[in-house]
Structures are given as structure tokens and as C-alpha cells.
A and B are shown apart, each in its own frame.
Chain A
Amino acid sequence: MFEPFHKVVSNVAGTVLKHEKETGRPIIGVMPAYFPLELIYAAGGYPVQLWGNQLPLEKSDAYLQAYCCSVARSVLELELIGGAEMVKAYAFTSLCDTLINLREIYRRLFPKPTLELSIPITRTVEARRTYLDSVVQNVTNGLEEITGKKITPESLAESAYLYGHSRALQRKLYNIRMGKPGLMKNYDFYTAIKTGFFLPAGVYNEMLETLLDQLENQPAPIGKRPKLLLSGMVFDPIQIYKIIDELGADIVDDDFANGWRNVSKQNLRVENLVEGITEFLFNPAPCCCLYNPDNDRHPYLLNKVKRSGADGVLFWYIKFCEPDAFDRPQLLKRFKKERIPAGFIDIELSMTNFEATKTRINAFCEILEG
């Protein structure tokens, strides 16, 4: 069932080049996180999401310190070694200090155009609306300049449907996983989600529909295994899911920026793009990078644990991600108060030895099994 997804993830460059050729759309590399892919597609571009990779970090060391996260370092490495030649331009958001400065590094090093969706985090509603209006205007103008095509109401509506539908199908997959733990291997599940980073939405949607058809009516496996909820920014490196599969634990839900936080987003409302993008950025799942006290992470995550039936929460910490690191101690304290087992693992995308990670996850699963 998952073979087509594994094929994509194991041959990203080949896949992306094939679809670039077939669609004739210029590839726009999308940096973390929450840049609405709909805008890129509506402008005639082919959005490909870059959430980091597992390249050994060599050339990027000349530009980024070791205390920058491996997401930023590995994405830069890809460009520096010529692995991102097919990417014609980059789309950023102002998610964190590292990514803001990374855009500046790209502007100094490479001739490729870059865009930034500057996310206003003020609570002054009118100021946010007016400012975002100008930001969206700049972004759409920039995209049109890159692709040479105009964004029209029709192209926006089409892309809102396509990408909204991708997320709706992904949500079905999430719901099946939550309802039938163990039906899908953890490794297969995240491969299926990751595939969406690299394919045009229409192609991806067909693959997901086929998968969902195959999964329908399949019974949930019998037997009790530890049920995990994972929380973090990026769900890679994907090999760790093989370890979790081997350990016999089931992930029933997640709170990843490139997982449920993104998947949960409803269709982008394009009739009022500024309001639509505001809603898209801040809802429904809260993110450690976007200040939004109206949507507090503490009750949100507690509710998520309850809803998913997870036995415990594992924080998946990409080293040097400050926004994530700041939230963790208070969240751990809150979980402890609510008697929800919680732990964390430190992750580097470039890691090659998973033994310590395996030991840690195993120990956590043993706690859950009592």
C-alpha cells in the first residue's frame, strides 16, 4: 500500500524533476513553516517543502554556526552542494530568528529570488490586518514576477481546493491512525505525510485517495501496545519510526509543525485573502513559534492527549530550536500535574547513530507499559 510513497521519499530529486517537466511549473522551495502553498500554485509555481535533510553538514559550516538548528543548516547545505539546482526561488516565513537571517544569507550567496511572508504577531487586530495586507501584496507580486504568471481568482480557488483537499485527506489518514492504532506502521504513516512535501497536490491527492480506499474496512490490530503522542517542529529523521515500530509502540497523534499543525488547517479562504491567511497561520493548532494566547498550547495539548487516547507524550526536540525549548519545561510540569507521562528526545537531522535515541524511547515505552 505504501510502496508508491516510499518511492517518492527515497527519490525526491528524481520525483520533483519529473513533475517539474510534466507541469512546466517552476519549483519554489518552501522553507519552514506555514507559507500557504496555495499562493505559489495559484501563481503557476510548483511548491516543494524543505524541512531539512540528512546530508552531512560540511559546506554550510562556513555560513552557519553549530548552534543553528540542523533544519537550517541542512537546507543550506543542499543548496551549497548543488543539490537544489532545480529550485528557482525560495519562499520563507518569519518563523524564527534563524530563518529570518537565513533568508539574508541566501540573498548574499545565491542569485535566486527569495520571498518572505512576514507573520505579524501583534494582538492589535487592525494593525495586523493592514500590515498583512501589504505583506500579502508583496508576496503575490513577487511570486508573479518569478513565475511570469498572474494569480487570478480562478487559479486561487483551484489551488485552495487542491491543497485544502490534500490536508482533508491527510486528516482522514490521521483519524484512521488514531481510531485503529497499529493498523499502519509509524514509518509508513510518516512516509505518506512526507510525500506531500514533494508532489503537486493533484498527484498527491490521487495517491492518498487510493491509500484511503485500501485502508477502509481494515480491522484494527488486536493487542495492547503503548500509544504515543509526539510533539515538536519537524517529524524527521524518518528512520526513527522504524525504531518505534520495532519497539512495538504506536503513535496515535502528533503536534508537529509539519504534521498535524499543518494538516489541521482548513481550506484557505481566498475571497478575503488577508483574513484567510490570518486564519490559516494561527488556527486551528497553536504553534510554539506563533504567539497566540487565544489558542493556548497547554489546554490544547491536554485535550489532544485525551482525545487521542495516548498513554504519554514524547517531545521530539530538534536541537537549538529555541521556540520549542522555551515551551517544554512548563508543558512538562503541566503534564506531570495532570499525571500524563511525558519525556523528550534530542534530535539532529544529520544524526546517523540512533542507539541512544532507541534506548531513550524504549525506556519511555517501558514506563508507559508500567
Chain B
Amino acid sequence: MTQFKAYSKMKELMTNYYIEAKTTQEKPIAWVTSGAPVEFLYAMDILPIYPENYAAMCAAGHQSVELMEAAEAEGFCQDICAYARTDFGADITQGGPAAGLPPPHFLVCSTNICKTVIKWYEVVARKYNVPLFIVDTPFLHDGLTKELINYTISQFKDLENFLTDFTGKTFEHERFMEVLYLSLEASSYWNKMLYLGKTIPSPFNSLDTFIHLGPIVTLRGTQKCVDYYKILYEEVAERAQKKIGSIPDEKYRLLWDNLPIWFKMKRLGEFFEEKKVTLVATTYANSWGRLGNSHGEPINDPYATLAGYYLNVYINLGFEERIKYLAQLIDEFSLTGFIMHSNRSCKPYSVGMYRLQEEVTQLTGKPGVVIEADQNDPRVYSDAQVETRLEAFIESMESVSKIDSSPL
């Protein structure tokens, strides 16, 4: 793992975010999914809380098992997404690094990451007896259409009405635009930073980007988020310019598909370093950079821009688009191969992955491997099984991979 100076800043930001969440008396609390259009909430001075982020923190801190067991004791079986079980457990026990999340006043759930979140949030809505607003973003089997954009825009406008009714405040369009530009700016820095992974050697390992995801998930739409990613970008850019690699002797450059295995970050980091592997691109971390692709151009139609962004999430795309995107990343980042995490807790990401792996390899000529794991549940993870599979994969690349070290 790369030691970035910005890390302490991020830690401070996230600590302050959770302190505010736990102590605020003024701001309404909304529990939201990671793909929810949070810009509307920040524009109304509502504090969005991300159970997914909290679940990941619990697993990274090796606390997820006891929390999941608490949820399972209440009947939530192990077939259910481990993020949801971790959060249910944290809610039951008031456990995890922040001693539970503050109770929600309402919930906003967007289906662009999965349909499972509807069920998860239904459970929460029933428990707390709070309203649940769903932004339905249908799966893009055949790309983005005008009908899908309009459908999503209509729901955004309804969300505005819901927030207005809930808070008793007027929805200030100017404030919303400020938040939107801040969101876009932070995403742009994040995206620019991620694309520095093209540099050979890569100035970061994608495992680092998973660690640094916290603010773009939780704080996008705020000035402090922009400030943070500017600092991070500048630090990484300097490393890229000086050709300081994440590891001393980068031999293999790989893509990681799907969520991280939060409870194995350190061990996998060491494993990859020892094998001279750098993870340089991920579909997961990239998901929060897609809004930043508009290069700071003026936004003429904010609703359509946001609708396009929130619909066009990687795991909401049909396989044709996913294959193209993966092939594009493999090409642009000069990758030697790719790792796909078949994640028991994330069906939209994982179901169909075996076929995707075959097709991407056929298209690009680059080898890929699928490992069976889970984002949050160490009980269904085997170090030996995963590492043996990865070792065999890395050995298979030995004969075929030669990094093209031409400058960017």
C-alpha cells in the first residue's frame, strides 16, 4: 500500500463527518445508498449517511463478523448481502467504529447499484418507521435512452418536492447548482487522479484508491471534498511526474473488477507487492469519477446531466457496454491482465462474470482470472484458495506479459 501524505487529511475529514453525523441537532439525517443523487440533499442542508460506507469501515477494521452474527441471530440469513447484514448488526448492537449510525429521519435509495438495496431499506424503513424515497434507475440493457433520462428526471423533481415537504424549506435552485458544480469538480479531481494510473510505473495501487474513496462517496457536493481531492491529485501527479511507483519493481499491471475485499486489504496488498503486481485500474473506484468526465464545461441541463450520470453506473450497464469499457481500460492503462472478484454479496456485479471474463480475454488477448470471495464476510473467504488461484494466474502471465514502458 502506498503511504500518501493526504491520508491523514482524509482520516480527519471522515472523522469529522462521522462526528457531525453523531452530534448534529440541526440537520435532518438521511440514510442513502452510494448511488443516490446526493446533490439534492446537500442543497437542502440534509446530512446524508451512507450505511454501505459504514459497513466497509467495519469490515476493514475487522469488526464485520460480530456485527453480522448479531444480524443473523435476528434471522437475517447468510444469503443476504454482507453489507446489509453488517449494518443491521451495527444498528442492533450500536457497534462498529462510530458506535452505530445516527437514526435516520428518512431514507433515499437508488436502484442503480442493485435492487437489493430496496429490500435493505425497506427493513430500515419499517424498523424506524420513516419514509423511504426510491429513485428507480432501470438497468441499461441497451444503453441510455431518452425515456430513461426522462423517467429519472421526473423522479428527481419528485425528490425535490419530497425534500421540500419534509424540511419545510424552499428548494433553492442556485444552491443546488453550487452543490452540483462542487460534486462535479470533486469527481473530476478523483477521475484525473485515477487516470494517473496510466503512468508506468503506476504512482498508486488501486487498493489505495479504495481507501481514499470515503470522501467522494460521502462528501461529494461539498467544498471540503473538492479541496481534499485536489490535494490528493496533486500529490499523486507529483509522484507520476517523478516516476515514483507504488511498488519498486512493477512487473504486472492489473485491473480489479468489483468491490474490494475489505477485510483483506493489507494481506492482499502485501501479496501483490511480493508478486510485483500493481492494481492500476478498477471499475469500482471509477464509478465515482464518471460525473467528472465533463471537463468543467457549463451544465445547461443539470437534471439531464445528473440523470445520465446516475443511470450510467458501471454495474447498471448491459454486458456489451461492460465488455467495451473493460477492454478500453485494459488498452488505456497498458494492462497485462485483469482480476474479477466474484462477490457473493453483490449479484449485479458478479452474475455473468464468468462469461464476461471469457469475452474480455477473447477481445483483448489479455488473461483474466475470477476469484470467489465476499466484500465483507471473512467466513466465506479462504486465503489459500484465493492466493493459490492468483499465484497460478500470475505465473500464467509470466510468459506473455511485457509492459510497454513508452511514456504517456
Contact = CB atoms under 8 A, between A and B. Distances in A.
Interface in A41-98: 62-65, 67-68, 94, 96-98
Interface string B319-354: 100000000000000000000001010011011111
Interface stretch (A21-29, A146-154, A227-235, A325-333): A325-333
A329 B75 contact: yes
Contacts of A109: 355
A243 to B, nearest CB: 23
Contact of B115 (A67, A97, A120): A97
B352 A101 contact: yes
Given A126-B154, A326-B120, A62 B354 contact: yes
Interface string A109-122: 10000001010111
Contact of B342 (A65, A124, A325): A65
Nearest to A121: B136
A94 B355 contact: no
B134 interface: yes
Given A120-B138, A127-B158, A322 B119 contact: yes
A282 B274 CA distance: 55
B308 to A, nearest CB: 16
The residue in B116, B126, B127, B347 that gathers the most chain A C-beta atoms within 10 A of its C-beta is B347
A213 to B, nearest CB: 43
A108 to B, nearest CB: 5
A357 to B, nearest CB: 17
A237 B132 CA distance: 36
Contacts, number: 139
B110 to A, nearest CB: 11
B129 to A, nearest CB: 12
A329 B76 contact: yes
A332 B73 CA distance: 13
Contacts of B141: 103-104, 107, 116
B147 interface: yes
Interface in B103-147: 111, 114-116, 118-120, 122-123, 126-127, 132-136, 138-139, 141, 145, 147
A340 interface: no
Contacts of B136: 120-122
A329 B138 CA distance: 28
A67 B154 contact: no
Nearest to B115: A97
B319 A104 contact: yes
A317 B79 CA distance: 11
A107 B342 CA distance: 20
A123 interface: yes
A332 B79 CA distance: 17
Contact of A64 (B158, B318, B351): B351
A361 B126 CA distance: 30
Nearest to A131: B151
A327 B80 CA distance: 11
Contact of B76 (A65, A96, A121, A325): A325
Given A65-B342, A98-B351, A130-B151, A327 B119 contact: yes
B56 interface: no
Contacts of B350: 65
Interface in A284-299: 288-289, 291, 293
B324 to A, nearest CB: 13
Contacts of A330: 123, 126-127
B155 interface: yes
Contacts of B79: 67, 319-322, 325
B347 A101 contact: yes
A79 B363 CA distance: 25
A131 B147 contact: yes
Given A97-B114, A105-B355, A291 B122 contact: yes
Contacts of B178: none
A275 to B, nearest CB: 17
B155 A122 contact: yes
A248 interface: no
A342 to B, nearest CB: 11
A239 to B, nearest CB: 23
A103 B134 CA distance: 24
B348 A97 contact: yes
A101 B351 contact: yes
A240 interface: no
Given A124-B158, A126-B154, A328-B75, A65 B119 contact: no
A100 interface: yes
Contacts of A309: none
B21 interface: no
A341 interface: no
B138 A94 contact: yes
Interface string B193-227: 00000000000000000000000000000000000
A326 B76 CA distance: 7
A68 B347 CA distance: 8
A15 interface: no
B318 A326 contact: no
B122 A326 contact: yes
A103 B118 CA distance: 21
Contact of B111 (A108, A121, A317, A326): A121
A122 B134 contact: yes
Contacts of B353: 65
B122 A118 contact: no
A108 B133 CA distance: 34
The residue in B116, B138, B145, B158 that gathers the most chain A C-beta atoms within 10 A of its C-beta is B138
A67 B135 CA distance: 27
Contacts of A67: 79, 344, 347
B115 A326 contact: no
Contacts of A101: 347-348, 351-352
B111 A134 contact: no
Contact of B75 (A98, A120, A332): A332
B235 interface: no
A97 B79 CA distance: 14
Contacts of B277: none
Interface string A300-341: 000000000000000001011111011111101100000000
Contacts of A130: 147, 150-151, 154
B77 interface: yes
A123 B135 CA distance: 9
Given A101-B347, A101-B352, A291-B118, 7 more contacts: A121-B134, A130-B151, A289-B115, A319-B79, A321-B79, A326-B122, A332-B75
Closest 5 CB pairs of A and B: A329-B75, A127-B154, A326-B119, A101-B351, A131-B151
29 contacts: A64-B351, A64-B354, A65-B353, A65-B372, A67-B347, A94-B139, A97-B114, A97-B348, A100-B348, A101-B348, A102-B351, A105-B352, A107-B319, A108-B319, A116-B141, A118-B139, A122-B134, A122-B135, A122-B155, A123-B158, A124-B155, A127-B154, A130-B151, A131-B147, A131-B150, A317-B77, A326-B123, A328-B75, A330-B126
